[in-house]
Chain A
Amino acid sequence: MSSYPNQGLSSMVHAADKTRWRLLLAPGWSRRLTGSLVVAISGIFLCESTSLGWDGGQSVTQSTLSNRDPALMTILQAERSTAGSEELQSAWQTVSQWPTERLSEVLDAADEANPVALNWLRTAIDGMTEQPGFELPVNMLEQVVQDTTRKFASRRIAWDLLESAEPKLMESIAESLIADPIATFRRPAIQTKIALANTFEKGSVERKQVLDRAFGAARDEDQVGEIARMLETEYGEKPDLATHFGYVVDWHVLGPFPNIAEAGFHDSLAPEKILLSDFDSQGKPNPELEYEGSAGSLKWQTHSAVSDTGEMDLNKVLGNEKEVVGYGVSIFNSSQERSAEIRLRMQNAFKLWLNGELIQSQPIGHTGNSFDQYVIPVSLKKGQNLILIKSCQNKPPQEMEWYDVWHLNVRICDASGTAIREGE
Chain B
Amino acid sequence: MNVRFTIHRFLVLLLACMSCGAEPIIGEDFLQFRGADGRNVFAEGKAPTEWSVEKNLAWKVKLPGRAVNGVIVVGGQVIATSSSGHANDRLHVYSIDEQSGKSRWSRTIYSTGRAFCHPLSSMAAPTPASDGKSIFALFSTNDLVCLDLQGNLQWVRSLGMDFPGAFDDRGLASSPIVIDGTVVIQVACQGDSFVLGVDAVTGQDRWRKDLPRTTAWSSPTPVNVDGRRFVLVHSASDFQAIDPTTGESKWMLVARGALIPSPAVSDKSVFLASAGLTRIDLDLNVSTPEKIWSKQKLSAGSASPIVAGDRIFVIHASNILTCGETKEGEVTWQVRLKGTKTWATPLLVGKHVYVVNDAGLTQVVDVLGAEGEIVSENDLGEEMLGSPAYANGALFLRGVTHVFKVAE
Partners in one complex: yes
Chain A residues with CB under 8 Å of chain B are 1-2, 4, 6, 23-28, 31, 41-44, 80-81, 83-84, 88-89, 92-93, 96, 115-116, 118-120, 122-124, 126-127, 130, 156, 160, 164, 184, 187, 220, 363-365, 367-370, 373, 397
B130-172 vs A, Cβ < 8 Å mask (1 yes, 0 no): 0000000000010101110001111111101110110111110
Closest B residue by C-beta to A115: B112
CA distance A27 to B111 in the complex (A): 11
Residues of A within 8 A of B152 (CB): 89, 92-93, 96, 127
Knowing that A92-B152, A126-B107 touch, tell me 20 more A-B residue pairs with CB under 8 angstroms.
A2-B193, A4-B165, A23-B161, A24-B161, A26-B112, A83-B204, A84-B155, A96-B152, A115-B161, A116-B156, A119-B156, A120-B153, A122-B109, A123-B108, A127-B105, A127-B152, A156-B110, A164-B64, A367-B189, A369-B169
On whether the beta carbons of A370 and B105 are closer than 8 Å, the reply is no
Choose among A83, A126, A363, A365 the residue with the greatest number of B CB atoms under 10 Å from its CB. Answer: A83
8 CB contacts below 8 A, A to B, read A24-B161, A80-B161, A116-B156, A119-B112, A126-B107, A130-B151, A367-B167, A373-B116
Stretch at the interface among B73-81, B195-203, B299-307, B375-383: B195-203
Q: Is the interface of B mostly helix, strand, loop or mixed?
A: loop
On whether the beta carbons of B110 and A44 are closer than 8 Å, the reply is no
CA distance A115 to B89 in the complex (A): 12
Residues of B within 8 A of A2 (CB): 192-194, 210
Q: Known interface pairs A84-B199, A120-B156, A160-B90. Does A373 touch B169 (Cβ–Cβ under 8 Å)?
A: yes
On whether the beta carbons of B202 and A84 are closer than 8 Å, the reply is yes
On whether the beta carbons of B153 and A89 are closer than 8 Å, the reply is yes
On whether the beta carbons of B107 and A184 are closer than 8 Å, the reply is no
CA distance A24 to B204 in the complex (A): 18
How close is B139's CB to chain A, nearest CB, in angstroms?
11
On whether the beta carbons of B117 and A368 are closer than 8 Å, the reply is yes
Among A6, A44, A156, A160, point to the contact of B114 (Cβ < 8 A): A44
Residues of A within 8 A of B109 (CB): 119, 122-123
A-facing residues in B188-225 (Cβ within 8 Å) = 189-194, 199, 201-204, 208, 210, 214-215
On whether the beta carbons of A26 and B169 are closer than 8 Å, the reply is no
Q: Known interface pairs A44-B114, A123-B108. Does A83 touch B157 (Cβ–Cβ under 8 Å)?
A: yes
On whether the beta carbons of B141 and A130 are closer than 8 Å, the reply is no
CA distance A28 to B193 in the complex (A): 22
Residues of A within 8 A of B214 (CB): 397
Q: Known interface pairs A126-B108, A367-B170. Does A83 touch B155 (Cβ–Cβ under 8 Å)?
A: yes
Among B116, B161, B165, point to the contact of A370 (Cβ < 8 A): B116
B366-401 vs A, Cβ < 8 Å mask (1 yes, 0 no): 000000000000000000000000000000000000
Residues of A within 8 A of B154 (CB): 84, 89
Among B161, B194, B208, point to the contact of A116 (Cβ < 8 A): B161
Asked whether any CB of chain A lies closer than 8 Å to the CB of B296, the reply is no
Residues of A within 8 A of B162 (CB): 80
CA distance A216 to B192 in the complex (A): 41
How close is B167's CB to chain A, nearest CB, in angstroms?
8
On whether the beta carbons of A26 and B115 are closer than 8 Å, the reply is yes
On whether the beta carbons of B191 and A364 are closer than 8 Å, the reply is yes
How close is A59's CB to chain B, nearest CB, in angstroms?
20
Shortest beta-carbon contacts, A-B, top 9: A368-B169, A83-B203, A4-B165, A84-B202, A84-B203, A83-B155, A84-B155, A119-B109, A24-B164
On whether the beta carbons of B164 and A44 are closer than 8 Å, the reply is yes
Residues of B within 8 A of A365 (CB): 190
On whether the beta carbons of A83 and B112 are closer than 8 Å, the reply is no
On whether the beta carbons of A4 and B157 are closer than 8 Å, the reply is no
Residues of B within 8 A of A27 (CB): 114
How close is B233's CB to chain A, nearest CB, in angstroms?
16
A-facing residues in B99-130 (Cβ within 8 Å) = 105-118
Closest A residue by C-beta to B112: A115
Among A24, A42, A44, A364, point to the contact of B190 (Cβ < 8 A): A364
